[in-house]
Amino acid sequence: PIIIRGSVMLSIYEKLSQKVDVWRAEGAEMLKNNGNFKVSDVTVSQIYGGMRGVISLLCDTSEVPNDKGLIIRGTPLKELTQKSPEEIFYLLLTGDLPNQEELEEFSSHIRNNKEVPGYVWDVLRALPADTHPMVMLDTAILCMQRESVFAKKYDEGMKKNDYWKYTLEDAFNLIGRLPGIAAGIYRMRFNKG
């Protein structure tokens, strides 16, 4: 089972466990009732214009109406500008903003997953000195695939209905490590030690 440390992680897991079944049922119902419904006509101009105005994606975490801007889980972005990245991540996951206790434990859980495997630094040091920082970041993330709980469980034959559990665990592990990786890349790329 997924590794759960602390009451907030248990709370998120429980919230998502309840919501995932509802979301699956809603998706199945949508597909059953509207599977053959034509959503959009596309012109070559729209394709060259970056798909502007083309309805082509179903997303339950956010929407971008032309006249309102980005809306995350029903809340306009302008109402979220003073929130921390952790609060936004919590909102994206659960549909709710955390209270102070939930935020502190949630943030602590992310920080507790910050250790970057040593081989990542070895791989980054092996790159040419003038490698672009984004290529370095991509490389670091890709080489950590061997740390993926999802990949291990997938190889063991986990059920499709459980994908989200291990994706969540991998997300926490990756998000916890990214600040350290980004800082390390900056130091390496710009000769800061």
Decide if 132 is inside a domain.
yes
- Residue-averaged pLDDT of the chain: 90
**Domain closes at, from 111, 140, 166:** 111
- Would the pLDDT of 83 be above 90? yes
Assign 152 to helix, strand or coil.
helix
Decide if 31 is inside a domain.
yes
pLDDT band (50, 70, 90) for residue 135: very high
- Pairing between strand 71-72 and 62-63? antiparallel
DSSP classification of residue 116: P
Percent above pLDDT 90 for the chain: 59
Counted domains in the chain: 2
Does the pTM surpass 0.85? The reply is no
Are residues 97 and 69 part of one domain?
yes
Are residues 106 and 40 part of one domain?
yes
Decide if 125 is inside a domain.
yes
Are residues 58 and 131 part of one domain?
no
Are residues 107 and 123 part of one domain?
no
Task: Please tell me the predicted confidence (pLDDT) of residue 132.
Answer: 96
Are residues 99 and 39 part of one domain?
yes
Q: Which domain holds residue 124?
A: 118-189
- More confident of the two residues 67 and 115: 115
Task: Please tell me the predicted confidence (pLDDT) of residue 68.
Answer: 86
Digit-coded pLDDT (tens) for 97-122: 999 988 998 888 888 889 999 999 99
Least confident of 40-54, 84-98, 139-153, 164-178: 40-54
Nearest to 41 by CA among 30, 51, 31: 51
Decide if 1 is inside a domain.
no
Extract the tokens encoding 106: 């949630």
- Would the pLDDT of 39 be above 80? yes
Are residues 49 and 77 part of one domain?
yes
Q: How far out from the chain centre does Cα 164 lie?
A: 11
DSSP H helices in the chain: 7-34, 44-48, 85-94, 100-111, 118-126, 133-143, 149-155, 163-189
